[in-house]
Amino acid sequence: MGNADNYGYPSMMNNNNGENTGIHRVETPPPQPFFKSLKNTVKETLFPDDPLKQFKNQKPLRKFILGVQYFFPIFEWGSRYNFGFFKADLIAGITIASLAIPQGISYAKLANLPPILGLYSSFIPPLVYALMGSSRDLAVGTVAVGSLLMASMLGAEVNPAENPTLYLHLAFTATFFTGLFEVALGFFRLGFIVDFLSHATIVGFMGGAATVVILQQLKGILGLEHFTHATDVVSVLRSVFAQTHAWRWESAVLGFCFLFYLMLAKFLSQKRPKLFWVSAMAPLTSVILGTILVYITHAEKHGVAVIGELKKGINPPSIMDLSFGSKYMTTAIKTGIVTGVIALAEGIAVGRSFAMFKNYHIDGNKEMIAFGMMNIVGSCTSCYLTTAVNFNAGCKTAVSNIVMALAVMVTLLLLTPLFHFTPLVVLSSIIIAAMLGLIDYNAAIHLWHVDKFDFLVCMSAYIGVVFGNIEIGLVMAVGLSLLRVLLSVARPRTLVLGNIPNSMIYRNVEQYPNTNNVPGVLILDIGAPIFFTNSSYLRERISRWIDDEEDKLKSSGETTLQYVILDMGAVGNIDTSGISMFEEVKKNLDRRDLKLVLANPGAEVMKKLNKSKFIETLGQEWMFLTVGEAVEACNYMLHSCKPISSEDGSQKWSNNV
């Protein structure tokens, strides 16, 4: 092609008659001080929602009031509270309490903790959330997956049957670190870390954990006294079928009857949403009926295990039970962080879904602070891990959590002796019924149809949890999700663009087969920022596209390749490795007598290309606002030059203007 820089294309602005061609100059943005640029980057990373906007141009007193309302939303919506809201919240709170009481007891047993802790954890944390939470619809309580995680991770170090006091203290300590971790994430605006748990990861992990929890409940359903502490399906089934002589038919019949009742109530509520209270009241109804049945028939003497005595009274302080000096401190911290991440992912996802459905906004970082504070306070008041519970009972505000907490308080003060004869098999039935809803096979099928890699991530999490353990499943799922992110960064898509007929639009030739090739011009679209992770790959990929294009042109006898246009529209940023890659690509193209052209470079890219002097090397006249303008300029050059045969037989190009 010769020295294209000397072709004299008049600033790419005027044609031979001096008329404006409509091609515009690509501008380099004005330089910005480093600290200002750093400030803007940090702001966009940590404060994308600009939470401090409401404090601007306000008087000091008003700023103080807004600050109090920001951290304690109850002072913001409390002034608008009315009796109509209270009626809805009263009914919702009592409904939620009827579910929280039996599930709290059940999940505490699942965590290998005293059942009373489930009630304690449904009293104090909801009060804290009512003060600090921003969601109108979330109920707060213990959850099965978090309980199983705690049992699995702490139980691997300390046997709860042999050393229950140490195990209990470690549970409080892990809960404290969960809260500390959640508050830190919220306060430092690091909530985006939780987003690394993709939807596919959560679907698979929750489904696997639910399967494990259900299998664990076979102990209660079959009335077994000895059971494996392992969570994988092989160990559980081996433990079950190795003790066929110890199965209790009385317990099994009772369990399956209550499970059928709970599933029927859930089915009825799903078919008729107005009857949601039927499903909500079913667990408490099961507990009452089971307790009465055992009390009347003395079934506890015939192999049906019961809860036994529950202490009366509200939460005793446990701040002195936090084991900061224990040799198991590392285990407590690790358990706290892992359970905290899962609790946040579940709680915030639930909160956002309600907010989107009911058309209001919640701040994920504020929610993290609220969740963290209720776990910190809870760890000091004999509570273990709590988070948001997915339950819609028609509540209007967080007062429903206060009503629920008061209902639990009445239970703690007056009604705990009534749970003495509650059969454990009923609790197992309640857990199984709740866990069946977490196995979202429809979501897995949807993932298979939409994105096979997401389905692989989902199934990896599921298989890892079911056949390994909770930690293995979580690591596998997160690892595959991160691998996908890394692959998308390290191996960005590069596409060949063609011209949509009768337009100035250029699109992927595979997506639009009717596009036309531009003779002598190869147009490539780079689909990601260019960093050290992908610069070598892009250099090789661009070279390969050029080789393929030249081979195709040679075989067809068409015009030889003269220009390579890189569409930079999707390149949001570039680092020094990326700039070096461009320099190498340009040198390679110069050796092959080809010209490099850049189209649609962004502000950040232009700033760095300018500072590195690459624009001077390339030439400002070879940078264009759009692919269309770049193609127009290249066509101008192609039609303004004629080939000249050199002594070695190759063709050079000279100015024909």
User: How many angstroms separate the CA atoms of 435 and 444, rounded?
Assistant: 16
DSSP codes joined into one string, 89-136: HHHHHHHHHHHHHHHHHHHHHHTTS-THHHHHTTTHHHHHHHHH---S
Q: What is the pLDDT of residue 390?
A: 61
- Enumerate long-range contacts of 240-249, CB under 8 Å, 24 or more apart: 246/222, 247/222, 247/223, 248/222, 248/223, 248/224, 248/303, 248/304
DSSP codes joined into one string, 343-358: HHHHHHHHHHHHHHHT
Tell me: do 646 and 610 sit in the same domain. yes
Tell me: do 286 and 390 sit in the same domain. yes
In the predicted model, is pLDDT for residue 91 greater than 80? yes
Question: What is the mean pLDDT of the segment spanning 60-73?
Answer: 85
pLDDT band per the 50, 70, 90 thresholds, residue 536: very high
In the predicted model, is pLDDT for residue 4 greater than 60? no
Two tokens at 471? Answer: 């930690």
Tell me: do 188 and 335 sit in the same domain. yes
> Per this entry, what is the length of the chain?
657
User: How many angstroms separate the CA atoms of 178 and 346, rounded?
Assistant: 14
User: How many angstroms separate the CA atoms of 475 and 553, rounded?
Assistant: 49
Q: How many domains does the chain have?
A: 2
Question: What is the mean pLDDT of the segment spanning 299-321?
Answer: 85
Nearest Cα residue to 401 out of 208, 154, 23, 123: 123
Two tokens at 391? Answer: 């339950």
The DSSP secondary-structure symbol of 583 reads H
Distance of CA 265 to the CA centre of its chain: 32
Tell me: do 151 and 222 sit in the same domain. yes
Two tokens at 552? Answer: 């195709």
Among the candidates 487, 513, 542, a domain finishes at 487
Nearest Cα residue to 401 out of 429, 370, 363: 370
**Is residue 308, in this structure, part of any structural domain at all?**
yes
Tell me: do 409 and 448 sit in the same domain. yes
> What percent of the chain lies above the pLDDT cut of 90?
30
Tell me: do 85 and 20 sit in the same domain. no
Mean pLDDT of the chain: 83
pLDDT band per the 50, 70, 90 thresholds, residue 653: very low
Q: What is the pLDDT of residues 397-425, one digit of tens each?
A: 888 889 999 999 999 999 888 888 888 88
Containing H/E element for 653? strand 651-655
User: How many angstroms separate the CA atoms of 388 and 411, rounded?
Assistant: 21
Tell me: do 186 and 318 sit in the same domain. yes
User: How many angstroms separate the CA atoms of 362 and 50, rounded?
Assistant: 14
Two tokens at 279? Answer: 């499903």
User: How many angstroms separate the CA atoms of 13 and 3, rounded?
Assistant: 20
Q: What is the pLDDT of residue 393?
A: 59
Containing H/E element for 449? helix 441-450
Q: What is the pLDDT of residue 539?
A: 93
Tell me: do 471 and 502 sit in the same domain. no
Question: What is the mean pLDDT of the segment spanning 633-648?
Answer: 64
Tell me: do 218 and 194 sit in the same domain. yes
pLDDT band per the 50, 70, 90 thresholds, residue 165: very high
Two tokens at 427? Answer: 């609790």
HSE-CB for 388 with a 13 A CA cutoff: 30
Two tokens at 625? Answer: 């606002």
Tell me: do 420 and 542 sit in the same domain. no
Q: Please indicate whether residue 136 or residue 590 has the higher confidence score (pLDDT).
A: 590
**Is residue 41, in this structure, part of any structural domain at all?**
no
Report the SS3 class of residue 387. Answer: strand
Q: What is the pLDDT of residue 353?
A: 67
Q: What is the pLDDT of residues 190-249, one digit of tens each?
A: 777 777 777 888 888 888 888 888 888 888 888 887 777 777 888 888 888 888 888 888
Tell me: do 567 and 602 sit in the same domain. yes
Containing H/E element for 433? helix 424-436
DSSP H helical ranges for 557-657: 576-591, 603-611, 614-618, 627-639
Tell me: do 322 and 425 sit in the same domain. yes
pLDDT band per the 50, 70, 90 thresholds, residue 79: confident
| Residue 606, domain extent | 2-30+492-654
Among the candidates 426, 455, 487, a domain finishes at 487
User: How many angstroms separate the CA atoms of 399 and 74, rounded?
Assistant: 9
pLDDT band per the 50, 70, 90 thresholds, residue 136: confident
Q: Where are the beta strands (DSSP E) in 465-545?
A: 494-499, 506-508, 521-526
Is-contact 155 331, C-beta < 8 A?
A: no
CATH number at residue 513: 3.30.750.24
HSE-CB for 43 with a 13 A CA cutoff: 10
**Is residue 349, in this structure, part of any structural domain at all?**
yes
Helix 470-490 to helix 144-155 angle, to the nearest 10 degrees? 110
Strand order across the beta sheet in which 595-599 lies: 506-508, 494-499, 521-526, 563-567, 595-599, 623-624
Among the candidates 426, 454, 487, a domain finishes at 487
In the predicted model, is pLDDT for residue 503 greater than 60? yes
> What percent of the chain lies above the pLDDT cut of 70?
89
User: How many angstroms separate the CA atoms of 282 and 287, rounded?
Assistant: 9
HSE-CB for 7 with a 13 A CA cutoff: 29
What are residue 391's phi and psi, to 5 degrees? Answer: -150, 125
